[in-house]
């Protein structure tokens, strides 16, 4: 297997790189490499429409910035604290990320073989049995779309809540936002991110310099400053931080620990973003898979360290953290450690980092929308599949993604339980879209031809572990926060997600106008392409 260092040296030896390498202007002598990328895309049937402005390091930066490890932990800490306290935060995290890393490896191997913006549904079409590939590709395309858009919506809502939490702290809890006020802020954020994601790829690439710096320095600052600033009454012993198990959910301890996996599942997600940016990446067959693997590995380690620091510095009264009027457990922990002014300063950086996650999230969702519309899989595909001539970005797809996120945001008015389904739908859609092409690779009857990144003989066992873990995760996603739930506390993920799948299938099988009549998988946008793809050989 080629190392990322070797491939990066090779592909960037003739680059003139600005900042951290995110905006790279190709030298004349490097034209062969970019031509190779375009040829690989042409072999898949697509013409080059994006500008390849992401250098290999920039591809990783985009993926790592979208993970937004610290703001993501800040958003979903509530999914770990009640389900085991310190043990859930430290050991629940370590357990889950071990299996998530297998997902990253299996996905990276697929991405190296055939890098395209539509990745997951394209691979499904290419690898699945001819009898089932049309339906399966349709399902993957739609679940990937809803997973990415719902993920972006959950980031935006989390950001709106974080900003409102800062206002609450700044006013000494005299201001408590209403749902309508939070939703209005949510809509404003959608608009701002819509404009950012409509920028040229070169501009988006430059922004990654700031994004990756903040997402690296912020957790480092917290890890260093928090043990120093936390008052003695909130400092915990090693025995408590690594061994105390506290649950306030009503579930048996063992099952509560299992439910704590939801926090790392939510945080270590979105790492497939580099796949959807592959048509804007240089040396995509190597840069994209290594971006996935490095994002999962580095984010998992940083997140584990942050959780350990929290476990040492949050005190032992978990109920006061969970039920505090601030409305945000991480903000409450900061308030106890840094005081009002210190929390406001630090929380502003957390919100800024979350803002950057949202910008990249909408960009990725729009690339999937664009790719699926290019293959005529969406309603109004002709309108969505349009490239802005000035920016060379799919502006219509950006605003289509933002509009669907707006519609999802309306669930907030149905109550917090209904809106929490958006978080679970994002992950359920993502994992469904992962499982199908991974299994199709081994069950579809095609001979696999790997790319530069390959697991060799370990490909099958790693994929089995990844698929088994994701299937298990989909099950626990459906459980309510507490046993014997009421209508208000019920987990509606199954209802909302199954409703979405039902709509997709109805649209597919609808008489005369359904997708079964006209959807034919990936569409060639080149007049002449190589008859044999790079992802498999026919048997």
pLDDT of 302 above 90: yes
- Taking CA atoms, 95 is separated from 75, 314, 333, 457, in Å, by 20, 22, 24, 24
What is the pLDDT, as a whole number, of residue 33? 58
pLDDT of 8 above 70: no
Q: What is the pLDDT of residues 242-301, one digit of tens each?
A: 999 988 888 899 999 999 999 999 889 888 888 888 888 888 888 899 999 999 999 999
- The CA distance from 101 to 466, in Å, is 8
Mean of pLDDT over the chain: 84
Among residues 293, 286, 395, which one has the least CA distance to residue 50?
A: 395
CB 493 within 8 A of CB 421: yes
Q: What is the DSSP letter of 523?
A: P
CB 304 within 8 A of CB 93: yes
Q: Which residues contact 225 (CB under 8 A, 6 or more apart)?
A: 338
**Which tokens go with 388?**
């802005």
b vs e for 499-511, b when ≥16 Cβ sit within 10 Å of the residue's Cβ?
ebbeebbebbeee
pLDDT band at 30 (very low <50, low <70, confident <90, very high): low
Chain centroid, CA 394 distance in Å: 20
φ, ψ (nearest 5 deg) of residue 530: -60, 130
Q: Could you report how far apart the first and last alpha carbons of the chain are, in Å?
A: 25
Its sign, for the CA torsion 211, 71, 242, 224, is positive
Among 44-53, 390-399, 449-458, 478-487, name the one with the lowest average pLDDT: 44-53
Q: Regarding predicted confidence, which is higher, 380 or 401?
A: 401
CB 428 within 8 A of CB 474: yes
- Taking CA atoms, 316 is separated from 77, 219, 233, 251, 325, in Å, by 15, 22, 9, 20, 18
What is the pLDDT, as a whole number, of residue 34? 62
Q: Regarding predicted confidence, which is higher, 37 or 184?
A: 184
Percent pLDDT > 90 in the chain is 37
pLDDT of 406 above 80: yes
Q: Regarding predicted confidence, which is higher, 519 or 491?
A: 519
Q: What is the pLDDT of residues 189-225, one digit of tens each?
A: 999 999 999 988 888 888 888 888 888 899 999 999 9
Q: What is the pLDDT of residues 410-452, one digit of tens each?
A: 888 877 776 777 778 888 999 999 999 999 999 987 778 888 9
Percent pLDDT > 70 in the chain is 89
Query: What's this model's pTM, rounded to 2 decimal places?
Result: 0.85
pLDDT band at 23 (very low <50, low <70, confident <90, very high): very low
Q: What number is the average pLDDT over the span 141-168?
A: 89
What is the pLDDT, as a whole number, of residue 1? 44
Q: Regarding predicted confidence, which is higher, 53 or 519?
A: 519
What is the pLDDT, as a whole number, of residue 31? 60
Among residues 65, 58, 87, 80, which one has the least CA distance to residue 298?
A: 65
Q: What number is the average pLDDT over the span 310-338?
A: 86
Q: What is the pLDDT of residues 77-128, one digit of tens each?
A: 888 888 989 999 999 999 999 999 999 999 999 999 888 878 898 899 889 9
Among residues 286, 279, 330, which one has the least CA distance to residue 158?
A: 330
What is the pLDDT, as a whole number, of residue 20? 44
pLDDT of 9 above 80: no
What is the pLDDT, as a whole number, of residue 166? 83
């Amino acid at each position: 297997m080629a190392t990322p260092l070797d491939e990066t040296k090779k592909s960037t030896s003739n680059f003139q790189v600005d900042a951290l390498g995110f905006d790279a202007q190709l030298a004349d002598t490097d034209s062969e490499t970019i031509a190779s990328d375009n040829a690989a895309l042409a072999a898949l049937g697509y013409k080059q429409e994006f500008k390849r402005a992401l250098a290999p390091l920039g591809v990783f930066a985009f993926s790592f910035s979208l993970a937004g490890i610290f703001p993501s932990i800040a958003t979903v800490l509530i999914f770990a604290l009640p389900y085991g306290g310190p043990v859930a935060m430290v050991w629940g995290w370590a357990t889950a990320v071990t299996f998530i890393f297998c997902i990253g490896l299996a996905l990276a191997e697929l991405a190296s073989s055939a890098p395209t913006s539509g990745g997951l549904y394209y691979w499904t079409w290419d690898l699945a049995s001819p009898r089932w590939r049309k339906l399966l590709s349709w399902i993957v395309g739609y679940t990937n779309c809803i997973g990415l858009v719902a993920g972006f919506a959950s980031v935006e809502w989390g950001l709106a809540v974080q900003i409102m939490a800062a206002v609450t702290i700044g006013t000494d809890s005299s201001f408590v936002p209403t749902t309508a006020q939070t939703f209005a802020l949510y809509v404003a954020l959608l608009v701002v991110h819509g404009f950012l994601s409509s920028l040229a790829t070169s501009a988006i690439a430059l922004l990654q310099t700031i994004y990756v710096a903040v997402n690296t320095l912020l957790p480092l600052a917290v890890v260093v400053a928090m043990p120093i600033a936390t008052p003695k009454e909130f400092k915990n012993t090693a025995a408590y931080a690594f061994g105390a198990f506290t649950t306030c959910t009503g579930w048996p301890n063992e099952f509560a620990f299992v439910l704590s996996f939801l926090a790392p599942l939510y945080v270590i997600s979105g790492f497939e973003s580099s796949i959807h940016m592959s048509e804007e990446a240089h040396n995509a067959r190597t840069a994209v898979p290594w971006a996935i693997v490095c994002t999962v590995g580095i984010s998992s380690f940083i997140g584990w360290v942050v959780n350990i620091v929290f476990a040492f510095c949050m005190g032992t009264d978990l109920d006061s953290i969970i039920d505090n009027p601030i409305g945000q457990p991480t903000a409450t922990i900061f308030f106890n450690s840094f005081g009002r002014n210190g929390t406001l300063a630090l929380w502003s950086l957390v919100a800024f980092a979350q803002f950057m996650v949202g910008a990249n999230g909408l960009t990725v969702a729009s690339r999937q929308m664009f790719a699926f519309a290019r293959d005529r899989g969406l309603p109004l595909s002709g309108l969505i599949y349009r490239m802005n001539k000035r920016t060379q970005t799919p502006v219509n797809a950006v605003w289509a993604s933002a509009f669907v996120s707006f519609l999802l945001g309306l669930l907030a008015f149905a109550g917090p339980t209904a809106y929490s389904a958006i978080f679970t739908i994002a992950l359920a859609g993502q994992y469904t879209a992962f499982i199908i092409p991974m299994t199709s690779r081994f069950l579809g009857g095609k001979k696999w031809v790997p790319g530069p990144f390959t697991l060799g003989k370990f490909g099958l066992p790693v994929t089995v572990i990844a698929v088994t873990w994701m299937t298990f995760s989909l099950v626990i996603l459906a459980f309510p926060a507490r046993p014997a739930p009421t209508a208000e506390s019920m987990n509606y993920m199954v209802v909302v997600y199954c409703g979405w799948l039902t709509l997709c299938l109805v649209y597919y099988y609808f008489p005369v106008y359904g997708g079964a009549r006209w959807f034919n998988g990936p569409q060639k946008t080149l007049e002449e392409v190589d008859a044999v793809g790079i992802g498999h050989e026919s048997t």
